[in-house]
Amino acid sequence: MKIICIGRNYGRHALELGNEIPDEPVVFLKPDSALMRQRDAFFIPDFSNDIHYEAEIVIRIDRVGKNIQEKFARKYFTEISIGIDFTARDVQSKLKQKGLPWEKAKGFDSSAVVGNFINASELDLTNLNFEFKRNGETVQKGNTSDMLFPVNRLISHVSEYFTLKIGDLVYTGTPEGVGKVNPGDLLEGFIEGEKLLEVRVR
């Protein structure tokens, strides 16, 4: 499986990092080894002093597709969750300055966390609330209506370049409010008030 991530999909998050508003989706990949397996504890890697959480709605593809039209995008997934796109911001800043690829900052082991999946058939993905808490305090609050490129558009766009396969995950971008994690932090993710994710930082 592969992990496809969308960058800068919420205007206010793009601006908080000093980035331009993109005119087409910003896409990057994480390897399958980035998926956190143990599910409950994230260990800060030695190469970074500035690991950021980015809470994102995650789509799980359950049908093979290529060149998917937006109007058919919903046929390619059933379940969604909330996940964390962990980012080594210090490493990323250095790479960005040099114009180099982001993989070391974005694709390291356990950098992709995903919560329990829920059936999305009845959900309006153009108006979905999600929330992310650090140590009980809400630090990110998003609504998918603020996406620059909505879910169906993302599926369509991504599938122009990459054949989507069963089990692939699409991280749909983070709203504003990203920040640093520290050892001992408790991270929790919610969709429409339902808790789907809990991770302890070590």
CB of 171 to Zn ion, least distance (A): 6
Strand partners, 84: 55, 113
Residues numbered 159 to 188 that lie near Zn ion (CB under 5 A) are 174
Residues numbered 25 to 44 that lie near Zn ion (CB under 5 A) are none
Binding flag, residue 54, Zn ion (CB under 5 A):
yes
Name which of 85 and 131 has its Cβ closer to Zn ion: 85
Name which of 21 and 64 has its Cβ closer to Zn ion: 21
Name which of 26 and 118 has its Cβ closer to Zn ion: 26
Q: How many helices (H) and strands (E) does the chain have?
A: 4, 15
CB of 121 to Zn ion, least distance (A): 25
Name which of 85 and 168 has its Cβ closer to Zn ion: 85
**CB nearest Zn ion: which residue?**
85
What does each C-alpha distance from 39 to 147, 161, 172 come to in angstroms?
27, 30, 20
Binding flag, residue 83, Zn ion (CB under 5 A):
no
CA–chain centroid gap for 74, Å, is 18
DSSP assigned state of 121: T
Q: Tokens 């800060």 sit at which residue?
A: 44
The span from the CA of 1 to the CA of 23, in Å, is 28
Binding flag, residue 85, Zn ion (CB under 5 A):
yes
Q: Is the separation of the CB atoms in 110 and 36 below 8 Å?
A: yes
List of residues contacting Zn ion (CB under 5 A): 54, 85, 174
